[in-house]
Amino acid sequence: DDPENQPSDPNYTKVLKKYFGYSKFRPLQWKIINSVLNDKKDNCVVMATGYGKSLCYQFPSVYTQRLTVVISPLISLMEDQVLGLKAANIPACLLGSAQEDNSLTRSNLLRGEYRLLYITPEFASSASSLLSQLHQKIGIDLIAIDEAHCVSQWGHDFRAAYRSLGCLKEEFSTVPVMALTATATVEVRRDICRSLKLHSPIISCTGFDRPNLFLSVSNKTTAAVDLKGLLHQTRNGLHCPTIVYCPTKKTTMEVANTLAVLGFSCLPYHAGLSLNTRKQAHKKFVNDQVQIVVATVAFGMGIDKPDVRKVIHYGAPKDIESYYQEVGRAGRDGLPSDCHAFYSDSDFAVSRHFINEIKSEKFREHKTLMMNKMMQYLASASCRRRILLSHFEGQERLDVGGTENCCDNCRKKIESSRRQNYYSNKNWQTADTMVPQDQLVDLSREALDLFSAIKLTEGRFGLMVPIQFLCGAHSQKLQRMHKLVRHQNFGSGKYRPQKFWKALGQCLKFEGYLKEQAVDRGFGATVHLSKKAEQWLKKAESSRSLKLVPTQDLLSELR
Ligand code: ADP
């Protein structure tokens, strides 16, 4: 072990063993805890789900015997944590919930009886006098802000009360603040540090890879057909806790009914059901009394169940960030788990509509990018893990993928290379052999033709019109533009079918060469060249080449 990862003083390890039952800190945990205890530093902690965020903020005051204030968005989540801590002989309490006896808790708090105090962000903004009293009497070691991405509108769970938490740092300037999240695009991270007014925070970031999650995608037909097979698969015949996410309350009910008729043990969960019904569903799921919860994304934060074996999206996930968060609920115990998405192209119409309504141009573009990334992930014929990780880590992750346990696309490639080896009389490859991935295809000529056609149609249409132009199709819209049908390039793309051009357009959009702009009303969008495409066009012809990793659709057109 790197000495930076573990304390040299054995007292820390004793406390770790005694209260938490672990014999070692995980890399990063000690670095963070040490910076709080010994340097009073602010921290922004970005950790993949399952890595062990809780210990980072629970350990310090257990060690010092003083107090940590934890701000967390959900009462149920806090209740679970408080119960868990009490069971480990760590006195903890929660304020602001109707169930607790607040006055008794307060007086116990002031006597220094608790190591951890959990509150909601709403409660935090009204509790400054209590917090200052506590700080004076017993001393607050740390203010931890869990699910800190809720401060950011760039994130996926924006919550207004988080915005005002910056006042804590102003009031308690000597108390270290630790912001924690599992979501981390660069924008969100920046927003967290700025809004919470952290003073030169230490930023710790784990990798985002969850190697135990197998990623796969298929087209949607009907719930009965699609889900039956998937849900019957068990892992070694064991009970297989599963979350099926649906985009709306209506589909949630429909899918839950379908599964019930098929004889699965399942319950629905969405914001339209009574609090009690939801609580029951949650409880039964956590206690393994029901195998499947069919839910909207309302079933999310606070599901502290380490052995969720499958997360299935029935209908396209909204965007890449939400998707990462949602599949993150599978396999927190580190054991192999499956994440499967069913989708059809029309699934994005509603998201697109909502995005078009966003007033701020910058924010609208950001949301469009997130949605396009999701579409790319679903449509891709190459390694899905690579798409996911490259998005979050901001750089191409060439070191992942290519193994049988990675994703459906990698698995397919391995199977087909095995078949080839078999027929060419060679030995079968072993299961974990890496196969070369994601071959780039030179599509310079085609891209040039498509870009020119889009320019000619002056960005007034979606992709269809420039494609009809290339294929020399006489559509109504084209007929109205006499200049176009008489243009020398009309029909110049007949060397490829319409389907090819559509798939190429999609792929160029994912790679950032094309962008869409919403039209004022309705669901439509016009297509335009991005800066990237304009720059490419400016290059000298001899040095201009455009190579792409084709999507599933484009790949089948190229074959
Ligand atoms: P997160 O909030 O980051 O998703 P948790 O705090 O719930 O993660 O921890 C995830 C799992 O890792 C839990 O089962 C926890 O018991 C375990 N864990 C955390 N820290 C350690 C450690 N130092 N050694 C062993 N297990 C740990």
What is the average pLDDT value for the chain, to the nearest integer? Answer: 88
- 367, 370, 373, 375 alpha-carbon torsion, rounded to 10°: -60
Which amino acid residue places its CA nearest to atom 23 of ligand 1?
Answer: 25
Q: Specify whether the CB–CB gap between 193 and 201 falls below 8 A.
A: yes
Given a cut of 60, whether residue 237 has pLDDT beyond it is no
Out of 5, 54, 80, mutate this one to test ligand 1's pocket (max ligand atoms within 8 Å of CB): namely 54
CA of 298 to the centre of ligand 1 (A): 24
Q: CB-based burial of residue 328 (10 Å sphere; 0-12 exposed, 13-18 middle, 19+ buried)?
A: buried
Q: Which atom of ligand 1 is nearest to the CA of 25?
A: 23
The rounded Å distance from CA 85 to ligand 1 centre is: 13
The pLDDT tens digits of the residues spanning 98-148 come to 655 688 899 999 999 999 999 999 999 888 889 999 999 999 999 999 999
Quote the pTM value: 0.77
Short-list 142, 179, 17, CA closest to 68: 142
Residue 456 is encoded by which pair of tokens?
């000619």
54 CA distance to ligand 1 middle (Å): 7
**What was the pLDDT predicted at 431?**
40
Closest ligand 1 atom, CA of 54? 6
Which residues approach ligand 1 with their CB closer than 6 A? 22, 24-26, 29, 47, 49-55, 306
- Which among 404, 364, 407 has a CA at the least distance from the CA of 389? 407
Shortest-distance atom of ligand 1 to CA 328 = 4
pLDDT in tens, 38-57: 999 999 999 987 789 999 99
- From the list 45, 21, 23, the residue with the least C-alpha distance to 33 is 45
Say what the pLDDT of residue 3 is: 66
For residue 507, report the distance from its CA to the centre of ligand 1, in Å: 39
Q: Residue 429's pLDDT is what?
A: 47
Taking phi first (over 0 means left), then psi (-120 to 50 degrees means alpha), and beta for anything else, what does residue 261 get?
alpha
Cα 362 → chain centroid: 21
Closest-CA residue, ligand 1 atom 17, reads 52
User: Which residue's alpha carbon is at the smallest distance from atom 21 of ligand 1?
Assistant: 52
What count of residues does the chain have?
559
What pLDDT is recorded for position 345?
84
- At residue 1, the pLDDT reads 55
ipTM of the complex: 0.98
Q: Which atom of ligand 1 is nearest to the CA of 304?
A: 7
The atom number, within ligand 1, closest to the CA of 49 reads: 4
Residue among 66, 30, 196 at smallest CA distance from 139 = 66
Q: How far is the CA of 208 from the centre of ligand 1 (A)?
A: 15
pLDDT value at position 118? 96
Tell me the pLDDT tens digit for each residue of 456-509: 887 788 899 999 999 998 888 777 777 888 889 999 999 999 999 999 999 999
| Reported confidence tier of residue 364, pLDDT bands at 50, 70, 90 | confident
DSSP single-letter state for residue 317: -
Please check the confidence at residue 216 and state whether its pLDDT lies above 60: yes
Probe residue for ligand 1, chosen from 5, 17, 51, 78 as the CB with the greatest number of ligand atoms within 8 Å: 51
What pLDDT score was predicted for residue 263? 87
| Cβ atoms < 10 Å from Cβ of 181 | 24
Greater confidence (175 vs 158) lies with 175
Which residue puts its alpha carbon closest to atom 14 of ligand 1?
Answer: 333
* Cα–Cα distance measured from residue 403 to residue 336, given in angstroms and rounded to the nearest whole number: 14
Helices (H), 1-151: 10-15, 29-37, 53-64, 75-87, 102-110, 121-126, 128-137
State the average pLDDT over residues 176-204. 91
Q: What is the per-residue pLDDT for 430?
A: 45
Closest to 327 (Cα-Cα) out of 209, 227, 235: 209
The rounded distance, in Å, linking the Cα atoms of 10 and 14 is 6
Centre of ligand 1 to C-alpha 25, Å, is 10
Confidence of residue 397 (pLDDT cuts 50, 70, 90): confident
CB 255 within 8 A of CB 246: yes
Strand-pair partners of 118: 70, 94
Most ligand 1 atoms within 8 A of CB, residue of 5, 17, 25, 26 to mutate: 26
Please give the structure tokens belonging to residue 167: 């006042």
- Going by CA atoms, what residue is nearest to atom 27 of ligand 1? 52
Q: How many CB atoms lie within 10 A of CB 121?
A: 23
Joined together, the tokens standing for residue 544 give 């201009």
Q: What is the pLDDT of residues 21-41, one digit of tens each?
A: 999 999 899 999 999 999 999
